[in-house]
A and B are shown apart, each in its own frame.
Chain A
């Protein structure tokens, strides 16, 4: 494996409110090599999105450091493209304009932008939607555009925050396969947040299971099943059982915490 591409060291994140403070991340250390597909897995409230946002540069950690490509992360930027669960396409731009936007900001020449957009539209089977507005697209199509928009930046790192969480099962599987194909072709480093155990096993080289508050790394394991993986296979299901156990423990803690907080209120 090549050198670490993303390094998260001793990261802590504390959210302070008037009544209480929540330790969202505690002593997180991760080294992610170039080209690895990492899934952050855990129940809601385990800080997986917080960690992703810290890597994206939206919310800096309270302490500790994050470097990507050898440079300290100080803010959001196109070298760490993000795909959001809620798509976050610009509704006033057509599909092609959404994809072109990041390149226009970079100041690329028009012809070059055009060529990249054409190529991405083809890669994601969006040719027929070039001049449509996002409101006219289904959720799956919107997420394709969001992926194309990030791929246009040609960034080595792709961050994905539950990108397929709002999609139906078939569309979801379809996009997962597409993502794997693109990843194999373009060799991106991907950090993918999900609370679906099956999705994590289906996609990842490596799964990082996180604990419920404070968010720590509970288990960090490599998935060595050959792709494409068969969710009905015995090995897949053995992993599913093992990870299911881990995630369920955290889910229970989440549940008890909610009950406790409700009782205080």
Chain B
């Protein structure tokens, strides 16, 4: 029952994309637009596959089969982009989490940091691009710096809010059971704040993913962001779109993964809001 209705939902959801692709193909095939402006979906798909496959034929002498299989440009680009997102997010989120916990727990720490945070937070990470290149040059360092910055604030703000909104009744019950200090923090306050923290993580990863594309466009010479900008210089619009589709697919995969993680970590929480 549930399975069939979810398949039905997926089916219904695919109708509009199919119509749009069909129209797009028709427009391209009828020659209404210059293929350099808008290539046909088939051309894009073809380019995507070419972009995905290894550039050299398989040669057992050059290395393992697996190594060869992922040597395609698209996979290398995706992996380098993902690596930057992950590293930047771990640094940004890893700094934001303890600071957020401290600011949420202690009004004194909050008073010390809040004004600074509120002043820095409205500056979009993109605005740091020139400085980041002056400071870190080109390549991974400025990109990771920008991504860390982008991930930092969502995680920070949500962590603070998460700790601050912990229902006083849990604290009272825990104190009554004899909890204090470290136990109170790890067994009560932290788990109670997890729903907020996870939504911060989710927003933070989303921001990191936006920032990585921009950072690669200006400061790095590989990765998905670099590749679509490079394709523009050669008027390879099919490759631009193929790259964009890849960015979309990876974003979707991250989102699905986060959803799974959410559902697992918050299995006690579903339906609790009502």
Residues of A within 8 A of B (CB): 56, 58, 75-78, 80-82, 84, 86, 88-93, 101-102, 105-106, 133-135, 149, 153
Q: B190 CB to closest chain A CB, in angstroms?
A: 9
**B128 CB → nearest A CB, Å:** 37
> In whole angstroms, how far apart are the Cα atoms of A82 and B169 in the complex?
11
In the complex, chain A residues whose CB is within 8 Å of the CB of B267 = 133
Q: Give the CA-CA distance A56 to B268 in the complex, in Å.
A: 29
Q: Which residues of A have CB within 8 Å of B175?
A: 58, 75-76
User: B269 to chain A: which residues have CB within 8 Å?
Assistant: 91-92, 135
Which residues of chain B have C-beta atoms less than 8 A from A133's C-beta?
267-268
- B176: which A residues are within 8 A, CB to CB? 56, 58, 76-78, 80-82
Pairs A-B, 6 closest by C-beta atoms: A102-B177, A88-B173, A78-B178, A92-B191, A133-B268, A76-B175
B172 in contact with A92 (CB, 8 Å): no
Q: Is the CB of B272 within 8 A of A91?
A: yes
- Contact partner of B172 (CB less than 8 A), chosen from A58, A93, A149, is A58
Most A C-beta atoms less than 10 A away, residue of B170, B176, B188, B270: B176
Q: Are B271 and A135 in contact, CB atoms less than 8 angstroms apart?
A: yes
User: In the complex, what's the smallest C-beta–C-beta distance from B105 to chain A, in angstroms?
Assistant: 18
Of A77, A91, A134, which contacts B178 at CB under 8 A?
Answer: A77
Q: Determine the chain B residues whose CB is within 8 A of the CB of A86 once the complex forms.
A: 169
Distance between Cα atoms of A93 and B177 in the complex (Å): 14
Name the B residues within 8 Å of A78 (CB-CB): 176-178
**Interface hits, B235-274 → A, CB 8 Å:** 267-272
Interface flag for B194 (CB, 8 Å):
yes
Contact status B178-A90, CB under 8 Å = no
With contacts A78-B178, A133-B268, A135-B271 taken as known, whether A92 is within 8 angstroms of B192 at the C-beta atoms is yes
Interface pairs (6), CB distance under 8 Å: A77-B176, A78-B176, A81-B176, A84-B169, A86-B169, A135-B272
Name the one of A88, A90, A105 contacting B183, with C-beta atoms under 8 angstroms. Answer: A105
Q: A132 — nearest CB in chain B belongs to which residue?
A: B268
Alpha-carbon distance between A81 and B176 when the two chains are bound, in angstroms: 6
**B174 → chain A closest CB, angstroms:** 8
With most chain B CB atoms within 10 A of its CB, the pick from A82, A88, A133, A134 is A88
Of the candidates A80, A90, A92, A135, which one forms a contact with B173 in the assembled complex, judged by CB atoms under 8 Å apart?
A: A90
Which B residues touch A93, using CB under 8 A? 268
Q: Does B87 reach chain A (CB closer than 8 Å)?
A: no
Q: How far is the CA of A140 from the CA of B170 in the complex (A)?
A: 19
Q: Return the chain B residue nearest A79 by Cβ.
A: B178
| Chain B residues near A81 (CB-CB < 8 A) | 176-177
Residues in B neighbouring A89, C-beta threshold 8 A: 173
Task: Indicate whether B108 reaches chain A with its CB closer than 8 angstroms.
Answer: no
- Nearest residue (CB) in A for B190 is A92
**Residue B179 at the A interface, CB < 8 A?**
yes
Question: What are the residues of chain B within 8 A of A58 when measuring CB–CB?
Answer: 172, 175-176
Distance in angstroms between the alpha carbons of A182 and B173 in the assembled complex:
21
Please give me the residue from chain B that is nearest to A105 by CB atom: B178
Enumerate chain A residues within 8 angstroms of B272, measured Cβ to Cβ. 91, 135
Is A88's CB under 8 angstroms from B169's CB?
Answer: yes
Assembly CA distance A86 to B187 (angstroms)? 20
Instruction: Give the CA-CA distance A33 to B166 in the complex, in Å.
Output: 37
Q: Shortest CB–CB separation between residue B20 and chain A, in angstroms? A: 41
Residue numbers in A under 8 Å from B187 (CB-CB) = 90, 101
Q: Interface readout for B164-200 with A: 1 if CB under 8 Å, 0 if not?
A: 0000011011111111000100011001101000000
Contact B268 A76 (CB under 8 A): no
Decide: A76 and B172 in contact? CB cutoff 8 A.
Answer: yes
Please measure, in the bound complex, the distance between the C-alpha atom of A223 and the C-alpha atom of B51, giving whole angstroms.
86
Q: Is the CB of B177 within 8 A of A135?
A: no
A134 and B188 alpha carbons, distance in the complex (Å): 15
Contacts A58-B176, A101-B174, A133-B268 known; list 6 others, CB within 8 Å: A76-B172, A81-B176, A84-B172, A86-B169, A91-B268, A92-B268
Give the distance to chain B from A26, nearest Cβ to Cβ, in Å.
25
A91 to B272, CA, bound (A): 8
Which one of B178, B179, B194 has the greatest number of beta carbons of chain A within 10 Å? Answer: B178
- Is there contact, CB below 8 Å, between A105 and B179? yes
Docked Cα-Cα span, A105 to B183, in Å, equals 8
